[in-house]
Structure 1
Amino acid sequence: MPYINIKVTDERVTKKQKQKLIEGATQLVVEILQKDPKTTHVVIDEIAVDNWGVNGKQYSEFKTKTKK
């Protein structure tokens, strides 16, 4: 039973985009590992940008600086 965990920042990921991620990740496991899609679980965690770090900084700060 494959378990796929996708983590993304909570920046307006739409229901349609999430569905595409679930479909795509499932299909990848089916094609590469020959796993049954009926037993493949996909979980998407949305992480607040203040709880995500990049280059030693909170992503919210990093994003603000790159927009300037």
Structure 2
Amino acid sequence: MPFAQIHILEGRTEEQKRAVIEKVTQALIEALDAPQQAVRVLISEVPKTNWGIGGVSAKDLGR
């Protein structure tokens, strides 16, 4: 059973997350010849204060 874990900054819309799930699922189906029902995708949203880029939080960078 293929399992993909995606970490993203908080703030994406439900529609965007739905698109990520659909497209990652399709990519795993194609790359691994996996049945769609076996694919799992987990999206973890990270607060911008907990995501560092070059030593600065994403929030402080205005992301």
Would the TM-score normalized by the shorter structure come out above 0.5?
yes
Partner of 2:54: 55
Partner of 1:10: 10
Unaligned runs of 5+ in 2: none
Partner of 1:33: 32
Q: Which has the larger radius of gyration?
A: 1
Which has more helix, going by share of residues? 1
Q: Measure, in 2, the Cα distance between the counterparts of 1:51 and 1:58.
A: 7
Q: Measure, in 1, the Cα distance between the counterparts of 2:22 and 2:53.
A: 28
Aligned-residue sequence identity (percent) comes to 30
Q: Measure, in 1, the Cα distance between the counterparts of 2:15 and 2:59.
A: 24
What is the CA RMSD across the aligned residues, in angstroms? 1.2
Q: Measure, in 1, the Cα distance between the counterparts of 2:57 and 2:8.
A: 14
- How many residue pairs align between the two structures? 63
Aligned to 1:6, the other structure's residue is in SS state strand
Runs of 4 or more consecutive aligned structure 1 residues displaced over 6 Å after TM superposition: none
Instruction: Output the TM-score relative to the length of structure 1.
Output: 0.85
Pairwise CA distance, 1:14:
1.2
